[in-house]
């Protein structure tokens, strides 16, 4: 690629010919986080603690101290997050190859199914049906599962019942198939995890984590604005914080979309 095309691209972003869609929720203390049984260690919630705000603690400047878990807000999962990926090379956010941070995306719209059934599971036949309309999923593409879950109020978004969360996600077979047969670079969802709320009861438990990270692939969750993306043709920019040996990180996820 010559520098001219790169400049053309920058011009297209500036002119709006390439639209930049923000797929990120605001990182805030009240955003739901993953809930584990209380006897396990918990993700620290997002805390924003003011250092000064043009006041006695700092007359001309405003700044905050932040604390949060690696898996809070819109966030990235690196292979080291799951036991299946623990021995892979370059498996943490500080060592993952920068070129993997920019990749095209296929968006599978399951919003109608998810509206009908909060426990909706994506299956191989459903993806094959999508491929009939939009073509085979190319290698090293993100697959983003659109459910419109991000449009819900927080309570319905977390949708916790006394038998756990009820949110849509992939079944075990499709995860294995996407990783092994389609060589996806990663899988992204609007929900709190890449797995379904009841994903712990699948075989293997949490198949998205199991197969993605075991195969050295990535996860994105708590995405929004997927409804603004075309089924194919968008490019996702997802660069997690370079946390030493980090298993994941909140991040800004951007999608570049050609204007219609």
Report the residue from 19, 34, 45, 241 that binds another protein according to the rule CB under 8 A.
Answer: 45
Dist. CA 225–CA 21, nearest whole Å: 7
Report the residue from 42, 90, 112, 245 that binds another protein according to the rule CB under 8 A.
Answer: 42
Q: In angstroms, what is the C-alpha Rg of the chain?
A: 19
Q: Which is nearer to another protein, 2 or 39 (CB)?
A: 39
* Residue 234: DSSP 8-state: E
H or E segment to which residue 209 belongs: helix 207-214
Report the residue from 35, 88, 103, 124 that binds another protein according to the rule CB under 8 A.
Answer: 35
Residues 102-141 that bind another protein (CB under 8 A): none
Tokens of 108: 């599978």
Q: Are 161 and 181 in contact (CB under 8 A)?
A: no
Tokens of 182: 């389609």
Binding window for another protein (CB under 8 A); candidates: 39-47, 201-209, 222-230, 244-252: 39-47
Which string of x and - marks every residue 147-186 that binds another protein (by CB under 8 A)?
------xxx-xx-xx-------------------------
Dist. CA 125–CA 73, nearest whole Å: 31
Smallest gap from Cβ 162 to another protein, in A, equals 8
Dist. CA 51–CA 61, nearest whole Å: 9
H or E segment to which residue 175 belongs: helix 172-180
- The reply on whether position 58 binds another protein by CB under 8 A is no
Give contact residues for another protein (rule: CB under 8 A). Answer: 29-30, 32, 35, 41-42, 44-45, 47-50, 153-155, 157-158, 160-161
Q: Which residues are known catalytic residues?
A: 81
């Amino acid at each position: 690629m010559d520098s001219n095309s790169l400049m053309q691209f920058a011009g297209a972003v500036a002119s709006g010919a390439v639209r930049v869609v923000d797929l990120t929720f605001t990182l805030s203390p009240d955003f739901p986080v993953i809930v584990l049984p209380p006897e396990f260690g918990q993700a620290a919630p997002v805390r924003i603690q003011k250092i000064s705000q043009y006041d006695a603690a700092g007359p001309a400047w405003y700044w905050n101290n932040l604390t949060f878990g690696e898996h809070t807000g819109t966030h990235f999962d690196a292979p080291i997050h799951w036991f299946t990926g623990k021995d892979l090379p370059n498996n943490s956010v500080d060592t993952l190859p920068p070129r993997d941070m920019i990749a095209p995306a296929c968006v599978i719209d399951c919003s109608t199914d998810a509206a009908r059934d909060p426990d909706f599971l994506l299956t191989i036949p459903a993806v094959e049906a999508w491929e009939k309309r939009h073509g085979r999923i190319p290698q090293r593409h993100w697959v983003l599962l659109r459910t419109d879950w991000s449009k819900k109020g927080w309570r319905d978004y977390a949708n916790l019942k006394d038998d756990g969360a009820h949110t849509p996600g992939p079944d075990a077979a499709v995860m294995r198939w996407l990783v092994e047969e389609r060589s996806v670079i990663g899988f992204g969802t609007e929900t709190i995890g890449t797995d379904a709320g009841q994903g712990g009861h699948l075989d293997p438990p949490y198949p998205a984590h199991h197969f993605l990270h075991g195969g050295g692939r990535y996860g994105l969750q708590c995405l929004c604005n997927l409804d603004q993306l075309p089924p194919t043709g968008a490019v996702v920019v997802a660069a997690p914080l370079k946390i030493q040996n980090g298993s994941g990180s909140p991040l800004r996820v951007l999608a570049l979309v050609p204007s219609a």
